[in-house]
Amino acid sequence: MTTLIYDGTFEGLLTVVFEIYDRRLDRVNLQRNQPDTAAFFENKLQVTTDEIRANRVLKGLTQRISAMGIQRLYAAHLAEMEGEDNNLVGYIRYAFDAAQNIEEDYGNRFVLRVSEMVRMVRREKHRMEAFVRFQKLKDDIFYAAVEPDFNVLPLLIRHFKSRYADQKWIIYDLRRKYGIYYDLHDTQYISLDFANIGKPANIIAAFTEEETIYQHLWKNYFTSVNIPSRKNTRLHVRHIPKRYWKHLTEKI
C-alpha cells in the first residue's frame, strides 16, 4: 500500500493519478496535505501538483468520459470528504481501464459512490443558491455570509453572476475563510480580514438604513404567509435544517 500525499486541489488529484500510472502503483491511499506525523518507514510519497501532468490526465480522461462526467468528478472532489479521494481515484482508474464509457455503470461501486457524492454536493450547492441572503452595505456591495457543509463556492459563481449582473456582491464562506467577489464585470476569489473590521457580525455597522427596513419587511412577510392550522415543524426543519438558520434573515 502506497500513501500519496497531495495538496487537496483537483489538479493535485489528477497529478496523483499520473504518478500512479507512471510508477505502476497498485494499492494506494490518498491523503490531503496533513502534517506528516510519523512512520517514515511507511511507503509514503509526497506528490507535487504539476499542471502539465494534470493536464495530460485530464486530456486522457476526456477521451474516456464526457465533459459532464468530468464536471461531476470535480464536484465530487469539492465534497472534501475524509477518505473519499480513494473512491475518486478508483473511478478514474476504472474509466481508464474499461473498454467502454463507464459513467452510467451504477452497478460499480466507484461509479455509484461518485454519483452519491455528486448528489450531496449538488444538493448543498442548490441550498446555497436558495439560502444566500445578501445584505446591502454602504458602498453598494451586497454581502452574504455562508457556512456550507461542502466547498461549493466555486460551483456558485455561474448562477449568481448570471442572476445579479447589475449589482456588486460578495459571497463569503466563513468556515473556509474565502469568498467570491463580483465587481460588475468579473468574479474573483478574495479573503477578508475580519480582524480589522471586528467580528463578522460587526459588518452590520456598514449596513445601509434601507437594509434594516427590507430585513424587517421580509421577516414580516415570512410571518404573514404562515398558516398556523397547517403547522408541520418536522417538514419545516427537513426543508431548512437548523444549521443554516443563523444566516437566514427570516430565522434570526
Binding interface with another protein (CB under 8 A): 102, 104-108, 112, 126, 129-136, 142, 144, 162-167, 210, 213-214, 216-218, 220-236, 238-240, 248-250
Minimal distance, residue 209 CB to another protein, in Å: 10
Grid look-up 504539476 returns 50
The amino acid occupying position 70 is I
| Separation between Cα atoms, residue 26 and residue 109, nearest integer Å | 18
How far apart are the C-alpha atoms of 12 and 50, rounded to whole Å?
A: 7
Residue with Cβ nearer another protein (52 or 235): 235
Compare residues 2 and 108 and give the one whose CB is closer to another protein: 108
When the beta carbons of 58 and 141 are compared against another protein, the nearer one is: 141
Question: Is the CB of 46 or the CB of 71 nearer to another protein?
Answer: 71
Burial of 237 (0-12, 13-18, 19+ CB in 10 A): exposed
* In the complex, least distance from residue 45 CB atom to another protein, rounded to whole angstroms: 32
Q: Smallest gap, in angstroms, from Cβ of residue 15 to another protein?
A: 29
Nearer to another protein, 48 or 220 (CB): 220
Q: CA 91, CA 111: separation in Å to the nearest integer?
A: 6
Could you tell me the smallest distance in angstroms from the CB atom of residue 1 to another protein? 26
Dist. CA 6–CA 164, nearest whole Å: 36
Cα separation values, 7 from 4, 30, 114, 236, Å: 10, 10, 20, 39
Task: Give the Cα separation of 122 and 79 in Å (integer).
Answer: 10
CB of 103 to another protein, least distance (A): 9
Q: Which is nearer to another protein, 58 or 112 (CB)?
A: 112
How far is the C-alpha of 252 from the C-alpha of 230, rounded, in Å?
Answer: 22
Per DSSP bridges, beta strands 178-182 and 168-173 are antiparallel
Q: Least distance to another protein from the beta carbon of 241, Å?
A: 11
Q: Distance (Å, rounded) from C-alpha 233 to C-alpha 237? A: 6
